[in-house]
Amino acid sequence: MRIESSGQVEHVGAVRVHPVRRMLELDSGARVPSRVKESVEPQRIERDVIAGIHQKMAIVLPIKDEDVKVFEGVLSGIPHDCLMIVMSNSRRGEVDNLKREQETLERFCVATKRDAIIVHQKDPRLAEALADCGYGRILDETSLVRSGKAEGMIIGILLAEVLGKDYVGFIDTDNYIPGAVWEYAQHYAVGFSLSQSPYVMARLLWRYKPKISGKLYFKKWGRVSEITNKYVNHFISTKGNFETDIIRTANAGEHAMSLQLAKKLTYATGYGVETQELMSIFEQFSGLGPVADRTIMEKGVDIIQTETINPHVHEEKGEEHLLQDMLVPSLSVIYHNPLCEQATRELITRQLVDLECIPRDGEVPELLILPPPETVDAGRFAGLVDRQLSEYAVPKGAAVRASLPAAVRRAQEAARLVFTDLDGTLLHPVSYSYAAALDSVRALQEANIPIVFCSAKTRAEQQVYRQELGIADPFVIENGAAVVVPKDYFRFSFSYSRTADDCFVIEIGSPYAEVKSKLKELCARPELQITCFGDLTTEEVSKVTGLNLVMAALAKQREYTETVTIEGDKKRVQATLAAIKEVGLGYTFGGKFYEVCLGADKGKAVKILMELFKLNSGDVYTIGIGDSLNDVEMLNAVDLPIIVQTVNKNWNKVNVKNLKRVTGIGPEGWARAASAVLAGSEQKK
Ligand code: GDD
Ligand code: MG
């Protein structure tokens, strides 16, 4: 996608409110070798960045007696990788709308090979579980969950968390345009990718709201959001000396959040929910009231507003609904916010009286505000709903299992950690295939054992394999030149050198340009025959490596080290290597090529990551899997070093203490190593 460049961000304490940015292009093409980072000009967001976020995102679909045909259209617009959580409050009994929704969802999931869950908001077991976990305030006098889209949303947030997701987005099910639904989910991912903070909210503004049933409806509708925006902006303006109109999405039903933020907010019942989310952010994180959380204050909260291209066409629910169900609650949550100034309150009262929403001497009604979802004991909730999940799962019997929230799970279960080399180890030395190890990768993932790539490959190359295998763990690139950690991976802050895509990068080696300039001196010497990958065309790299053209292009996207070939007899090679050292560079031999670096250190990179994992999870037991000399530093740093066989069915000679040799070339050996790791886990239990 491509989005227009950002305007002036407004700061309200630690909250960064981003002005609305228009989406310019729904698809900005396939991956191109990265050029100079686009910063001021329209910004391009890579497909794989969006896809990576979708895999970690749940889309909550609230539904109350909507036309199932429309619902079906909405489902078809949700990107394939997002987990769908349908929260229904539809009529049951003789006319069982829930049943029709279940059948529609089931048909869709079977045909598209997807899993989803559908839950009825009034399921007594759900109410019981919530009460049991200290969230009884969401129940009404009949001891069932109160009616309302907001209540459905909160349960959606809790379920997204126990299903291990990192992001949650909301999409109404009365939307007539599947392409718009698809676009909303793209916007959410774009919003998250633009944020520098794990605490982020993406809110959408519609460019077009076509009139489908008379002028009045849409006129009013526009007025609701206009009025709500006006008073949220008034609220902000009274806090400083500058008037602002930065908020343009105060009622955005279509919005998404990182779960880390979603868990911290308070929620209004009914349709005041979206405005209250904003007010809750200002109340807790603007610094205008008591500081709620120091870490969040440090990282800041991003509110990203984007404008969509597709028109928003949805079911008409009537004018009364707009005023009484939407406007009154939205203004109520601004009015009753403890930080709201008297001046804003007076204006809101006057507005509601003018619109005849409240009597002349009437009070602005106060809504019930529900406490943050983080007050729910997540572990206990997971345990309780786990029993029901198989029933909620679609298709029936789909393996949707509750687990502890991602961060807690990592903390409790990352007692083991696998570092692995790629070329010749996880990837076959000749075919580059990981097929023989695929089942074992899945088994480790199921056991929640992180798989950390530690290879000479570039960040771009490793991203391809991480994505293909669904691996979201940190990784070490270019032979220990840098450690790359996905932004939300660890629950604490640590120092890093820069950010790239949605990752923190800890640099150990010097940048590529420095390595290259030193190599240039050597290339100029006729007695040394060095060929740098950087000087070859993609086709040439493809030819010497056996990589296909796409991977060869990614292999050329070097950020720190240079891959070289050295020609000549043994003596000439030795002389060249000595010359490389003389100019201050280092090198490793990966079996085919030499990797030349300045300060890169696989051992150091592994140790840095081990420290981060220890901080996150307490003591960890580390396993390293490699195949050649350039893995020695990694193998020496771990508790259990394992080596797989080379293409000749033997093991490279490496000097590593307590080394375990497994049979099997590359990925075949890797599978055996993984079995040993898992057997160890069994014993540990
Ligand atoms: N689970 C659940 N429970 N869903 C509900 C309930 C409920 O009690 N009530 C309504 N829904 C579902 C509807 O089926 C629909 O998919 C969605 O929630 C939104 O409800 P609408 O009644 O269609 O709301 P709207 O179109 O007037 O307002 C929408 O847009 C506003 C502005 O963006 C909503 O998303 C508002 O929340 C939003 O402020
Ligand atoms: Mg609607």
Distance, CA of 119 to CA of 51 (rounded, Å): 26
596: CB partners within 8 A, 6+ apart: 515, 519, 561, 562, 563, 564, 580, 585, 586, 587
Which atom, in ligand 1's list, is nearest to the CA of 271?
Answer: 37
Tally the domains of the chain: 3
Domain that holds residue 285: 2-314+323-394
Q: Are 285 and 418 in the same domain?
A: no
Q: How confident is the model at residue 32 (pLDDT cuts 50, 70, 90)?
A: low
Residue 505 contacts residue 496 (beta carbons within 8 Å): yes
Pairing verdict, β 21-25 and 15-17: unpaired
Can you tell me the mean pLDDT for 106-126? 94
Is residue 363 in some structural domain?
yes
Domain boundary among 541, 566, 597: 597
Exposed e or buried b for every residue in 339-358, given b needs 16+ CB within 10 A? Answer: ebeeebbebbbebbeeeebb
Q: Is the CB of 274 under 6 A from ligand 1?
A: yes
CATH code: domain of residue 533? 3.30.980.20
- pLDDT over threshold 80, residue 224: yes
- pLDDT over threshold 70, residue 222: no
Can you tell me the mean pLDDT for 290-306? 88
Is residue 606 in some structural domain?
yes
Residue 423 contacts residue 429 (beta carbons within 8 Å): yes
Is residue 177 in some structural domain?
yes
Can you tell me the mean pLDDT for 448-473? 93
Tokens representing 360 are: 């002349």
Atom 8 of ligand 1, residue of closest alpha carbon: 148
Is residue 402 in some structural domain?
no
CB atoms within 10 A of CB 468: 10
Exposed e or buried b for every residue in 206-235, given b needs 16+ CB within 10 A? Answer: beeeeeeeeeebeebbeebbebbbbbbbbb
Is residue 490 in some structural domain?
yes
Distance, CA of 420 to CA of 426 (rounded, Å): 7
User: Where is pLDDT greater, at 409 or 561?
Assistant: 561
Which atom, in ligand 1's list, is nearest to the CA of 121?
Answer: 1
Task: Give me the sign of the Cα torsion angle 291, 612, 496, 265.
Answer: negative
pLDDT digits (tens, 9 = 90+) for 408-442: 455 455 578 999 999 999 999 989 899 999 999 99
Is residue 343 in some structural domain?
yes
> Which range, of 55-64, 139-148, 358-367, 494-503, averages the lowest pLDDT?
494-503
Q: Are 154 and 251 in the same domain?
A: yes
Q: Are 168 and 286 in the same domain?
A: yes
Classify residue 7 as exposed, middle or buried by CB count within 10 Å of its CB (0-12, 13-18, 19+).
exposed
Q: Are 87 and 188 in the same domain?
A: yes
- pLDDT value at position 342? 95
Residue 51 contacts residue 160 (beta carbons within 8 Å): no
Q: Are 577 and 441 in the same domain?
A: no
- pLDDT over threshold 90, residue 103: yes
pLDDT digits (tens, 9 = 90+) for 251-297: 999 999 999 999 999 999 888 999 999 999 999 999 888 877 878 88
Pairing verdict, β 83-88 and 660-665: unpaired
Q: Is the pTM of this model over 0.85?
A: no
Q: Are 361 and 485 in the same domain?
A: no
Residue 454 contacts residue 633 (beta carbons within 8 Å): no
Q: Are 348 and 468 in the same domain?
A: no
Q: Are 466 and 365 in the same domain?
A: no
pLDDT digits (tens, 9 = 90+) for 187-204: 999 999 999 899 999 999
Q: Is the CB of 269 under 6 A from ligand 1?
A: no
Query: Among 90, 146, 149, which residue has the most ligand 1 atoms within 8 Å of its CB, making it the best to mutate?
Result: 149
> Which range, of 13-27, 180-194, 607-621, averages the lowest pLDDT?
607-621
Q: Are 464 and 581 in the same domain?
A: no
DSSP 576-630: HHHHHHHTT-EEEE-SSSEEEESS--HHHHHHHHHHHHHHHHSS-EEEEEE-SGG
> Which range, of 334-348, 482-496, 623-637, 639-653, averages the lowest pLDDT?
482-496
Q: How confident is the model at residue 215 (pLDDT cuts 50, 70, 90)?
A: very low
Q: Is the CB of 325 under 6 A from ligand 1?
A: no
CATH code: domain of residue 439? 3.40.50.1000
Q: Are 273 and 371 in the same domain?
A: yes
Domain boundary among 597, 616, 633: 597
Share of the chain above pLDDT 70, in %: 92
Q: Pick the closest to residue 170 from 251, 92, 59 (CA basis).
A: 59
Pairing verdict, β 416-420 and 621-626: parallel
Q: How confident is the model at residue 48 (pLDDT cuts 50, 70, 90)?
A: confident
**Among 302, 325, 421, 423, which one carries the catalytic annotation?**
421
Q: Are 425 and 467 in the same domain?
A: yes
Q: Is the CB of 172 under 6 A from ligand 1?
A: yes
pLDDT digits (tens, 9 = 90+) for 367-393: 999 999 999 987 788 888 877 887 888
DSSP 12-45: ETTEEEPPPEEEEES---S-----SPP-SSPEE-
Classify residue 287 as exposed, middle or buried by CB count within 10 Å of its CB (0-12, 13-18, 19+).
middle
Backbone region of residue 432 per phi and psi (left: phi > 0; alpha: psi in -120 to 50; beta: other values) = left
Task: Tell me the chain's radius of gyration from C-alpha atoms.
Answer: 28
Nearest ligand, measured from the Cα of 145:
1
- pLDDT value at position 191? 96
Is residue 405 in some structural domain?
no
Is residue 407 in some structural domain?
no
For 320, phi then psi, to 5°, come to: -60, -45
Distance, CA of 444 to CA of 654 (rounded, Å): 26
Residue 421 annotated in active site: yes
Q: Are 460 and 497 in the same domain?
A: yes
Q: Is the CB of 252 under 6 A from ligand 1?
A: yes
Tokens representing 422 are: 């790629």
Share of the chain above pLDDT 90, in %: 60
Q: Pick the closest to residue 642 from 611, 680, 607 (CA basis).
A: 680
CATH code: domain of residue 237? 3.90.550.10
Domain boundary among 597, 612, 646: 597
